[in-house]
Structure formats: C-alpha cells, structure tokens
Structure 1
Amino acid sequence: MIDLGISKLALIGAVALIVIGPEKLPTVARTVGAWIGKAQRYVTDMKAEVNRSMALDELKKMKDSVESAAKDVGQSIKSGTDDFEKTWAEATRVASDGHSSDSDYRVSLPEPVPEYRHPKKNWRLKQGATPNWYKARAGVRTRALSGAARVARYRPTKFN
C-alpha cells in the first residue's frame, strides 16, 4: 500500500499548486474529491453485496436444515400415528369381539368431552361490578329512558 503521511500530502499539494496553478486548483480538487467519493461508495457497495450474499448463503443452509428437521419430525409423527392406529384397531377389535386371552381385559372408551365454548363478555356482570358512586361520577346511565322521557328531559327551556 501507499503510505501517505502529512508531509507527503503537503508536497503533493505544493507541486499541484505550481503545475496546475491557483486558478484551476479548486476545480481540480473538487473533481478529484468527487472521484475519490465515488470510489469509496463503490467499495462500500461491493462490501455490502458480498456480506448480503454470504448472509443469503447462511440463510439457505439454515432453511435446508430446518426443512430436513421438519421432514424428520413429520416422518416420526406419521410412524407414531401408524403404530397408534394399529394398536387402537387391535384394542377395539378385541373389545368388540369379546375375545381376549385373559377374561379381565376390557377396553373402556372414554366419555365424550363437551365441546369448548368461549366465555363471551358478560356485559351485565361487568356493569353490576362497577360501584354506583363511580357510575354517577362518570355519568353512566343506570336506567333506560323512553324516547318521550328523553325529549322531555333534554328539551331546551324557553326564555320569557
């Protein structure tokens, strides 16, 4: 690599001032600065692209390993369910036929479990749990008004 110190940069600047001249030196310096900036941006873009490609390769390897693990799990589940179905078929066949090697062996089917029902929000319970003093302060209506009663209550008064 080129080792540029402050003394060498000062020497290059003095030679450029003599050769180029003081009139054109600022424009040449701007142009050289722009070229250096473009080169630095190009280098950083290339580094970022290389890092992205390396990360992409790592992600592909990780995806392949996760997919293979998922396939293994799926196969083990499938083999487990096949074994369970065979055992279940044999047990139900023995229970339905009534033939068994020992007479005490019986399969009892479990009682059906009731279907799950989501507990909905109970508005009345929620309203009843709120203290009356808080309802009065917050302006919560505790009684229903008919349309005629609401009109009579909120009708503007006439000024005489």
Structure 2
Amino acid sequence: MFDVGFSELCLIGLVSLLVIGPERLPKVVRLAGFWLGKTRSMVASVKEEIKLELQAEELRQIFKEQSGIAEVQQIIDETSDTLKSTIAPLPTTSKTQDDLDAGTVPEPEQHKEPLPTDMTTGQHEPK
C-alpha cells in the first residue's frame, strides 16, 4: 500500500528509538502492531461486505432478467396457442389432403351444369 522498503523501516525504527526511548519502544511497537492488525481485519471485512453486496446485486439483476424472459416466453406461448387455434379449424377435404400427401396435384373438377348455347357455339347473333 505504502511500499515501505527495508531502508525506510530502519529509518523509522531509529527515529522511534531516539524519540520514544529504549524502555517504552517494545510496548509502543506491540501497540502499533495490534492497531495495524485491527485495521487490516477491518479493511478485510469491509472488502468482504462490498463483495457480498455486489454479488447480491448481480443476483437481483439476473432475477430481473429471468422474470423478463419468463414474461416473453409467456407471450410467445399465448401467441402460439392463438395461431394454432386460428389455423386448426380451416377445413380441408380428404381428397385434397390425400393428394397433398401423395404429392399429386388434383385436376380441376368439371362443371356439371351445361353451358348456355350461345357460348358453346362461339357464334354471336347479330343485333
């Protein structure tokens, strides 16, 4: 964090020995170590809480996406059911269905009603 090297530690130790004195230096070093340990554990717990909160937020986002996907899936299912119910009642004759299954094209049916006489001869009467 502070990138303290060996030479800096020696300098800090020498200054603290001169300022505090040799009798109180061991107590001060123990106290500084204690507070440094407490600070490290507090920082670690804060990091862990932040990590857990981020994971919880990610889970909330995933849950929202999943619920959105479920809504879209429900709309797709409803649309599919509507289309199936619309297409299902279309009538097909068995002959036409058999021809479609066989891959043949049915021939057009012949009209049983006779055509009018003037249409059959192809001659027009003069007016």
- The Cα of 1:101 is off from its aligned counterpart by 6.6
- The Cα of 1:76 is off from its aligned counterpart by 0.6
1:125-144 → structure 2 map (5 Å cutoff): none
Give me the whole-angstrom Cα distance separating, in 2, the residues matched to 1:62 and 1:53: 14
User: For each residue in 1:121-158, what CA deviation from the matched residue of structure 2 results, as whole angstroms up to 9, or x when unmatched?
Assistant: xxxxxxxxxxxxxxxxxxxxxxxxxxxxxxxxxxxxxx
Give me the whole-angstrom Cα distance separating, in 2, the residues matched to 1:77 and 1:5: 67
**Letter of the structure 2 residue corresponding to residue 104 of structure 1:** K
Percent identity (aligned):
31
> How many residue pairs align between the two structures?
97
**Equivalent residue number for residue 76 of structure 1:** 76
**Structure 2 stretches lacking a partner, 5+ long:** 98-127
- The Cα of 1:27 is off from its aligned counterpart by 1.7
**Structure 1 stretches lacking a partner, 5+ long:** 92-99, 107-160
1:11-160 → structure 2 map (5 Å cutoff): 11-88=11-88, 90=89, 102=93, 104=95
Q: TM-score, normalised by structure 1?
A: 0.49
Give me the whole-angstrom Cα distance separating, in 1, the residues matched to 2:32 and 2:48: 24
- The Cα of 1:86 is off from its aligned counterpart by 3.8
Give me the whole-angstrom Cα distance separating, in 2, the residues matched to 1:28 and 1:3: 22
**Letter of the structure 2 residue corresponding to residue 66 of structure 1:** Q
Between structure 1 and structure 2, the one with the greater Rg is 2
Give me the whole-angstrom Cα distance separating, in 2, the residues matched to 1:24 and 1:11: 18
Give me the whole-angstrom Cα distance separating, in 1, the residues matched to 2:92 and 2:5: 97
**Letter of the structure 2 residue corresponding to residue 70 of structure 1:** A
Q: 1:30 to 1:48 in 2, by over 3 A?
A: same
Q: TM-score, normalised by structure 2?
A: 0.60
Give me the whole-angstrom Cα distance separating, in 2, the residues matched to 1:103 and 1:29: 99
